[in-house]
Chain A
Amino acid sequence: MLMKKNYRSERHVPAKDIEACGLFGVMNIEGQKFGALKAIEAIKNIKVRGNGLGGGFAVYGLYPDYKDYYALHIMFQNKDIKAKERTEDFLGEHFEIIFDEEIPTNPQVSLFCPPLVWRYFVAPKKGEAEQAIPDDEYVTSRVMYINSHIEDAYVFSSGKDMGVFKGVGFPEEIAAYFMLDGLYEGYIWTVHSRFPTNTPGWWGGAHPFSILDWTVVHNGEISSYGTNRRFLEMYDYYCTLHTDTEVMAYAVDLLMRRQGLPIEIVAKIFAPSMWDIIEHLPEKEKKLYATLRTVYAPLLMNGPFTVIVAHHHEMFGLTDRIRLRPITAGAKDGFVFLSSEEAAIRHVCPDLDLVWTPQGGEPVVVRLNSKDHLKSLNKSI
């Protein structure tokens, strides 16, 4: 599916980036849409977790008028018009372009080297031989082609009725640049503030990381990165950005989208219980968890991480098995919040009904029209 880059030896595969981050996500479980303010204010509150080298937002329920079409947010590095032409030739060949426009920006906000960012609403245009390929696979492979083969073009997001806005800067600057507050509404907002230890200066390197309508914001450093990456390569996922987030996103894609496992199961793969605990479970559960752990041992995400993953109708948060990175959940009326810090949640919702800290490896699953998130409350600390 993804493009394999041929290295003479694995030794030449670039080392991964190291970064820390602040995370926040909010969902209205009744599906009511709201503006960007909550996400912006919350992430501003945890400014210390970023360093102005990357910020971004994912919004769901973004394009109700075009909700049946794949919305491609594509950036052109250095505002390269040639790259845009090449991309559009390619898009024209493989998709019907229903509508496209430049994503409006505020010229008063000055940021580091902003690219040209365009959005396209497209429908797959499959050839005879491609009829059997599911739309999602079709789109994914075309997106990967753009990312790896068209120089200076990079796809921010490619899902339906959703979109990612990201860039180099503090998240609030990115929000101001794309004028998120005022222009857009959605029923899920996730936001990421990045603290890389190197200086990429590349807008595509900011998060959320996205495939189709799946977005991942992640904080932490996965010490099992090498093991995870190699396993994913066997399933044709080749890391091109060399970040933990990318590995996490591909693992989510493999297990959840392609293999159809629910997050409750996937959590037990990413952050499995200790063997000592598994051995004392009732027979059925013991067998399930032991099997999951043995079969998917290479996808155990070891080391500190917190992740917030979203796709339509669902947002979930998960922290590593021994909770080296915290995650906090809060709820008020129809809103459920997830964040790396409680302060960020309280800042945008001072009168929370509930606030809790889930155990390591216990996912907080926020689903549309459901109270599933409360399951993690019972097991919280």
Chain B
Amino acid sequence: MYSYLLPEFAIERNEDRCIHCRVCERQCATDVHYYDAEMDKMFFREEACVGCQRCAVFCPTNALFIWPHPAEYRPNSSWNREKLQDLKKQAETGGVILTGSGNDKPYRIYWDHLVLNASQVTNPSIDPLREPMELKTFLGRKPDNLEIEFNKGEVKIKSELYSNVSITTPIVFSAMSYGAISYQAYKSLAMAAKKFGTLFNTGEGGLPLNMRKEYGCSAIVQCASGRFGVDPEYLNAACAIEIKIGQGAKPGIGGHLPGEKVSENIAVTRMIPQGTDALSPAPQHDIYSIEDLSMLIYALKEATNYEKPVSVKIAAVHNVAAIASGIVRAGADIVAIDGLRGGTGAAPKAIRDNVGIPLELALAAVDKRLREEGIRNKCSILAAGGIRCSADVMKAIALGADAVYIGTAALVAMGCTLCQKCYTGKCTWGICTQDPYLSKRLNPEITSQRLTNLLRGWSYEIKEMLGGMGINAIESLRGNREHLRGVGLAEWELDVLGVKGAGE
């Protein structure tokens, strides 16, 4: 515990309501609550509270109230409380301030400045309850055109086709590795993806052997800088492969799974000795240029007999459009772009909060660049980082995405309350932890149901919105910025987004 810091959260226990059942004590992973048997009274250590709200929602009598601590230093817009406290922590430890989850700073959220269109009079809206509404999406490279041969009434496709993966809804679970998240959380994602007909992403922690047969066909397996768990069986078990170059929450930064989290099963899955730190270098040390990337892409394709699309995931950085174009030319079938607000299990706060650009702008720029170069259909675009609801999905697709990755949204569906303490390994919700006491709080049967519910709910909403626009297949929304208008955006922002202002 740091000295001389104001607690982040204030706790109030209504003593009239409290029945001393000690539920809060058992639920809290940071030992905030404790019971004094002699006094028959509950106490708390406020400074340890991370504001996850687990105790408040589990308290049977609603006796607990947890809120941001009201104490303030002298108000100062520049030296606000967060800056002061971070600085004090560093003065005490000389270390890097770590954090988890996504960027929480008030950068403009473009989704909230974009509005969608609907049909009136000149064109009928379509009722998804009465008419089919199609969300099926194919991820992968498409040929420029189809050569078709006609032979005595027989029609045959002559062109070479590339492998594509089909998903039933344009929503895919983002990379979250086993190790960063608990086995239960990982399995829940796999089960939900399989049940709903979409995909989950293994992250860089490998795919446990016992899950390959059942969930391989719903998995995008990652090949990241640490190469954990990568071997031909792993690659061939999956339906797509992703080379991870960067992550929106920490562009240019690697990862570090501390040895204490590397349990036996994680060690086997990652193919490293138990209890050793799993270090992912910042770059992939065999990729120092675009040609190197191309070699890795084709090495992975060779290893899998050209049967699986290969994705390359990058963080949205300043010249993302040019990089994406290079990636497509290097042979990638999917480009995944992770924006400024993408989540993480652990990242230096300075990086999470300051490096990268918003997904919306990056996505619009990439889609435009690929079209200008006539190579947009050579790849699919997966947009990641800050997708919070079905309307965000619609807007991302209208800006040019084929589908979106959701990470944080899936975590929230599993219970996460964005306390940002994932890096501590003490997630009270059993998600970002390897502590069996905590992780058993998730039952994959139930949690995966919550995830499929989320996918179902969003898919229904997407169908409603599509129908309203008079569109009955999701591909007709892709890149269709005519169905977007900007509100409250500056000229340059509208220009980058390629979207007219409302009323224009």
Chain B 108-142 interface mask (CB, 8 Å, partner A; 1/0): 00000000000100111010000110101010001
Residues in chain A near residue B479, CB distance under 8 A: 226-227, 230, 298
Contact B157 A322 (CB under 8 A): no
Q: Which of B367-426 contact A (CB under 8 A)?
A: 368, 371, 374, 376-377
Nearest neighbor of A234 in chain B, beta-carbon distance: B374
Asked whether any CB of chain A lies closer than 8 Å to the CB of B446, the reply is no
| Docked pose: A322 CA to B127 CA in angstroms | 12
Contact A303 B148 (CB under 8 A): no
Counting residue pairs across A and B whose Cβ atoms lie within 8 Å, the total is 125
Q: Which of A213-258 contact B (CB under 8 A)?
A: 220-221, 223-227, 230-231, 233-235
Residues in chain B near residue A291, CB distance under 8 A: 146, 157, 161
Q: How far is the CB of A196 from chain B (nearest CB, A)?
A: 10
- Which segment, of B24-32, B61-69, B452-460, B469-477, faces chain A? B469-477
Nearest neighbor of B475 in chain A, beta-carbon distance: A297
Asked whether any CB of chain A lies closer than 8 Å to the CB of B483, the reply is yes
Contact A18 B482 (CB under 8 A): no
Q: Which of B480-504 contact A (CB under 8 A)?
A: 480-483, 494-500, 504
Asked whether any CB of chain A lies closer than 8 Å to the CB of B448, the reply is no
| Docked pose: A295 CA to B159 CA in angstroms | 11
Residues in chain B near residue A265, CB distance under 8 A: 148, 155
Residues in chain B near residue A295, CB distance under 8 A: 142-143, 145-146, 377
Asked whether any CB of chain A lies closer than 8 Å to the CB of B195, the reply is no
A234 touching B371 in the complex, CB below 8 Å, given contacts A11-B497, A223-B469: yes
Q: How far is the CB of A369 from chain B (nearest CB, A)?
A: 18
Residues in chain A near residue B494, CB distance under 8 A: 9, 11
Residues in chain A near residue B150, CB distance under 8 A: 262
| Docked pose: A8 CA to B126 CA in angstroms | 35
Asked whether any CB of chain A lies closer than 8 Å to the CB of B212, the reply is no
| Docked pose: A38 CA to B160 CA in angstroms | 48
Asked whether any CB of chain A lies closer than 8 Å to the CB of B164, the reply is yes
Asked whether any CB of chain B lies closer than 8 Å to the CB of A10, the reply is yes
In this complex, which of B142, B146, B157 has the most chain A Cβ atoms within 10 angstroms of its Cβ?
Answer: B146
Contact A275 B146 (CB under 8 A): no
A230 touching B123 in the complex, CB below 8 Å, given contacts A8-B495, A298-B377: no
Contact B123 A221 (CB under 8 A): yes
Residues in chain B near residue A302, CB distance under 8 A: 470-473, 476
Contact B481 A10 (CB under 8 A): yes
Contact B134 A223 (CB under 8 A): no
Residues in chain B near residue A324, CB distance under 8 A: 124, 126
Nearest neighbor of A20 in chain B, beta-carbon distance: B122
| Docked pose: A106 CA to B29 CA in angstroms | 91
Asked whether any CB of chain A lies closer than 8 Å to the CB of B478, the reply is yes
Q: How far is the CB of B494 from chain A (nearest CB, A)?
A: 5
Nearest neighbor of B482 in chain A, beta-carbon distance: A226
> CB within 8 A of B471: which of A224, A275, A287, A294?
A224
> CB within 8 A of A261: which of B148, B374, B476?
B148
| Docked pose: A208 CA to B174 CA in angstroms | 49
Q: Which of A252-301 contact B (CB under 8 A)?
A: 259, 261-262, 265, 272, 274-276, 287-288, 291-292, 294-298, 300
| Docked pose: A220 CA to B497 CA in angstroms | 28
> CB within 8 A of A224: which of B131, B145, B476?
B476
A322 touching B131 in the complex, CB below 8 Å, given contacts A234-B376, A287-B157, A291-B161: yes
| Docked pose: A156 CA to B497 CA in angstroms | 35
> CB within 8 A of A221: which of B136, B470, B483?
B470
| Docked pose: A224 CA to B377 CA in angstroms | 17
Q: Which of A116-153 contact B (CB under 8 A)?
A: none
| Docked pose: A265 CA to B148 CA in angstroms | 9
Nearest neighbor of B147 in chain A, beta-carbon distance: A259
A223 touching B471 in the complex, CB below 8 Å, given contacts A234-B376, A274-B132, A276-B132: yes
Q: Give the contact-size bracket for chain B.
A: 35 or more
Contact B482 A15 (CB under 8 A): yes
Asked whether any CB of chain B lies closer than 8 Å to the CB of A304, the reply is yes
| Docked pose: A16 CA to B477 CA in angstroms | 16
Asked whether any CB of chain B lies closer than 8 Å to the CB of A197, the reply is yes
A227 touching B122 in the complex, CB below 8 Å, given contacts A9-B495, A15-B500, A294-B138: no
Chain A 195-208 interface mask (CB, 8 Å, partner B; 1/0): 00100000000000
Contact A223 B157 (CB under 8 A): no
Contact B126 A322 (CB under 8 A): yes
Q: Which of B155-176 contact A (CB under 8 A)?
A: 155, 157, 161, 164
Residues in chain B near residue A221, CB distance under 8 A: 122-123, 470
Q: How far is the CB of A8 from chain B (nearest CB, A)?
A: 6
Q: How far is the CB of B358 from chain A (nearest CB, A)?
A: 17
Nearest neighbor of B478 in chain A, beta-carbon distance: A227
| Docked pose: A231 CA to B470 CA in angstroms | 20
Residues in chain A near residue B376, CB distance under 8 A: 230-231, 234
| Docked pose: A119 CA to B60 CA in angstroms | 88
Q: How far is the CB of B123 from chain A (nearest CB, A)?
A: 4
Contact A300 B473 (CB under 8 A): yes
Contact A321 B155 (CB under 8 A): no
A18 touching B122 in the complex, CB below 8 Å, given contacts A8-B495, A274-B134: yes
A10 touching B471 in the complex, CB below 8 Å, given contacts A265-B148, A304-B123: no
Residues in chain A near residue B148, CB distance under 8 A: 261, 265
Residues in chain A near residue B477, CB distance under 8 A: 224, 227
| Docked pose: A139 CA to B376 CA in angstroms | 29
Residues in chain A near residue B476, CB distance under 8 A: 223-224, 227, 300, 302-303
Contact B478 A298 (CB under 8 A): yes
Contact B123 A303 (CB under 8 A): yes
Contact A11 B499 (CB under 8 A): yes
| Docked pose: A143 CA to B53 CA in angstroms | 69
Residues in chain B near residue A235, CB distance under 8 A: 374
| Docked pose: A197 CA to B142 CA in angstroms | 37
Residues in chain A near residue B157, CB distance under 8 A: 287-288, 291
| Docked pose: A321 CA to B126 CA in angstroms | 12
Contact A9 B498 (CB under 8 A): yes
Contact A11 B480 (CB under 8 A): no
A226 touching B470 in the complex, CB below 8 Å, given contacts A234-B377, A291-B161, A300-B475: no
Q: Which of A164-216 contact B (CB under 8 A)?
A: 197
Nearest neighbor of A16 in chain B, beta-carbon distance: B482
Chain A 8-40 interface mask (CB, 8 Å, partner B; 1/0): 111100011010100000000000000000000
Residues in chain B near residue A16, CB distance under 8 A: 482
Contact A226 B122 (CB under 8 A): no
Residues in chain A near residue B481, CB distance under 8 A: 10-11, 226
Residues in chain A near residue B497, CB distance under 8 A: 11
Nearest neighbor of B492 in chain A, beta-carbon distance: A9
Nearest neighbor of B374 in chain A, beta-carbon distance: A234
A230 touching B146 in the complex, CB below 8 Å, given contacts A224-B471, A276-B132: no
In this complex, which of A11, A287, A296 has the most chain B Cβ atoms within 10 angstroms of its Cβ?
Answer: A11
Contact A10 B377 (CB under 8 A): no
Nearest neighbor of B367 in chain A, beta-carbon distance: A230
Residues in chain A near residue B132, CB distance under 8 A: 274, 276, 322
In this complex, which of A230, A262, A296, A324 has the most chain B Cβ atoms within 10 angstroms of its Cβ?
Answer: A230
Contact B368 A10 (CB under 8 A): yes
Among all A-B residue pairs, the 5 with the closest Cβ atoms: A224-B476, A226-B480, A9-B495, A302-B476, A226-B482
Q: List 17 A–B pairs whose Cβ atoms lie within 8 Å, in order of A's numbering.
A: A223-B471, A224-B477, A226-B482, A227-B476, A227-B479, A231-B376, A261-B146, A291-B161, A294-B138, A297-B142, A298-B377, A298-B479, A302-B473, A302-B476, A303-B123, A303-B476, A321-B472
Q: A9-B498, A300-B476 are in contact. List 15 more A-B contacts (CB 8 A).
A: A9-B494, A11-B499, A221-B122, A224-B471, A225-B482, A227-B476, A227-B479, A265-B148, A265-B155, A287-B157, A297-B138, A297-B478, A302-B471, A303-B471, A304-B123
B residues lining the A interface (CB < 8 Å): 119, 122-124, 126, 131-132, 134, 136, 138, 142-143, 145-146, 148, 150, 155, 157, 161, 164, 368, 371, 374, 376-377, 469-473, 475-483, 494-500, 504
